[in-house]
Structure 1
Amino acid sequence: MVMDCEICGQPIQGRPVKLRVAGAVVLSCKNCSDLGERVHERRQSSISTRKKQIHSRRESSSPPHHQTRKPPYHGAPRKNRTRKPSRFRLVENFDTIVREARGDMPQEDFAQSLNEKNSLIQKIETGKIRPTHQLARKIEKQYHVTLLEKVEEAEELDDLEWKSKKKDSFVPTLGDFIKKND
């Protein structure tokens, strides 16, 4: 099975190199291995044997009447949720739009109508913090204003330089998005 480099897109000759590039772990060829920090994984077997050793020590050292205790509950396992890149962007003058949407209504009543804290609304109106996507949607629906504008994909990719000479069949790889710190 031939793997492709996740940075340059070329087929990997030999063994792939595992790198951390901009926070993401990728498999790369040897040519691209200098673009990130090498990731070394611990062997799973050594970790599991350590756990077994610790567990066996606990069982042998505790008296039999203590073994009836329930193990501590650590909550439900967390789901890995990957965020989708937002296709919407908060408008620049969101603070004035929120202030105008409130009109003559006191901030306390406005905050209560949105089920939010008054201090949060104050900070949004002064521009100190930006409302979350969810709160912006709530304000838009309830007060018929526009706080989020659609972002075109071309706007997001404007500042990228394409390294490929073949413009017709070009498929961007992670290497096209990496900014080198030379």
Structure 2
Amino acid sequence: MNIKLFARLMQCELCGAPIQGSPKTIQIEGAELRVCVRCAKHGTEVQQSRQRVVQKKTGIAVTQTRRRPRDVFDMMEGEIVEDYADRIRVAREEKEWSTLDLAQEVKEREVLIKKIEKGDLIPEDDLRRKLEKALDIRLIDSAEDTTSTGGPGRVTMTIGDVIAFRKGRK
């Protein structure tokens, strides 16, 4: 089958429209899809690893692969807490700041702060850090936040403990 004919028959795996030109490969929720240019904005574009052959002076061909660029999710420190909007609003009110005051403190627009406080928008990492610093709060669930508060010497049960316990009873 001719490549040009194959390209004409390709359909967007998201909207089903025929793909004009070369398809874009994006990732949505871990799945890689070949989509049209219009649907490419709905996911993270995946760079195809291209191999190229480099000819050395000795005449030996060596292949080099290009790495894919780091994704936003690769750089995340942890998950944002579910009640981030309430934490931000309460901390702002404790400082007796208006949304405009907070916006000026973190050098962002007031509309953005209002959307975050309503829970309509999750702050990106750089803005989250600014908010944490300005309001002296924590917005990330990290390993330190989820540790047991049972006190010193308190042991929590794991799945392995349950399995060992059941094997011991038999």
Point out the structure with max Rg over C-alpha. Answer: 1
Q: Same fold (TM over 0.5)?
A: no
Q: Which of 1 and 2 has higher RCO (CA within 8 Å, sep 6+)?
A: 1
Decide which structure has greater strand share: 2
